[in-house]
Amino acid sequence: MANIYWYYLIAIIGLGATVFSIYKKQTVKRSTFLVFYLFTTCITWIGEFVVLGLLDAYAYKTGIFSDPWAQNILGHLILNSTFYPGTAILVAANCLGYGWISFITIIYLLIEYLCLKSGIYEHHWWKYYMTGFLIFFFQVFSKKYFAMLNPTKSRLIRNITFYFVGFVLLHYPIPVLLLLGKQYYNVNWAENLYLSSTMFIFTYQLFEVIFLVICVCILKKWYFKLIPFCIAFFGQYILMKLNILVVKDGWNLLYSMILYFSSIVAFIIIEKYSLKMKVQ
């Protein structure tokens, strides 16, 4: 079986856990599940940005690309957008105890072992116990954080949550376009183009999302919601004029901005109808 199909199989398991949890937990609003799913996705993205992107702890072997960092990005997108948030929802929605969390952690370790043995994943300096510790902590944290969202009583927690949600929505199209060969960011932060481009735009959008949250979640007047669109357009336009943003293969800035604006619109809609405050 080709390497990529194993990644798809793991992703299906994560999505299955998500669907099962949402179906079983009818008392929780679907919008809350969506927000929590995106929140936990972002937590794993940031963690992997540090461990994989900056520290080169391990490598994914998807078999789709010849470039090692293109393989890493694809493996990251598949697993950290499905399996990790899926098990987090499973634990949080069903209020699983430490015994079940330990069992799920063992499942993670078993999958990691099988992936290593099959050659679709490799350790550089990473160790099994690191996976075990982080997965156990991630599941416990997810359970406790979900309790703070259902119901939402703290405006601070709500804004923090939407910061992570906003980042996922803004960032997701970027690595996809990079892997499709449509655009990249030319900054030479690393020798590898895929890694360098990702490091730059990931860091850039971590700051950009701050303004998105302020304008949408904190400043409630409708006209403040126009500011993120302006920041997105002028930011990318300036990067293109500086020859940092490079588009190719028939792609152009207009197409990029359609995706960017769509992400902002999605964020505004999700924020409007999700995590309604119980106590003002």
> Would you list the domain boundaries of the chain?
1-151, 154-275
With beta carbons less than 8 A apart as the criterion, state whether 80 and 129 touch.
Answer: no
Instruction: Examine the pLDDT at 134 and tell me if it is beyond 50.
Output: yes
Instruction: Examine the pLDDT at 277 and tell me if it is beyond 80.
Output: no
% of the chain with per-residue pLDDT over 90:
93
What is the C-alpha to C-alpha distance for residues 265 and 225, in angstroms, rounded to an integer? 9
pLDDT given at position 280: 47
pLDDT given at position 220: 82
Q: Mean pLDDT across the chain, nearest whole number?
A: 95
With beta carbons less than 8 A apart as the criterion, state whether 263 and 170 touch.
Answer: yes
Least confident span in 23-27, 40-44, 172-176, 186-190 = 23-27
- HEC string of the chain? CCHHHHHHHHHHHHHHHHHHHHHHCCCCCHHHHHHHHHHHHHHHHHHHHHHHHHCCCEEECCCCCCCHHHHHHHHHHHHHCCHHHHHHHHHHHCCCCHHHHHHHHHHHHHHHHHHHHHCCEEECCCCHHHHHHHHHHHHHHHHHHHHHHCCECCHHHHHHHHHHHHHHHHHCHHHHHHHCCCEEECCCCCCCHHHHHHHHHHHHHHHHHHHHHHHHHHCCCHHHHHHHHHHHHHHHHHHHHCCCEEECCCCCHHHHHHHHHHHHHHHHHHHHHCCCECCC
What integer is the mean pLDDT of 62-66?
Answer: 93
The model's pTM is: 0.95
**Tens digit of pLDDT for each residue in 135-159?**
999 999 999 999 999 888 899 999 9
Q: Which residue has the tokens 């679709």?
A: 120
pLDDT given at position 99: 96
**Tens digit of pLDDT for each residue in 196-212?**
999 999 999 999 999 99
End-to-end CA distance of the chain: 54
Q: Which residue has the tokens 């964020």?
A: 267
Instruction: Examine the pLDDT at 23 and tell me if it is beyond 60.
Output: yes
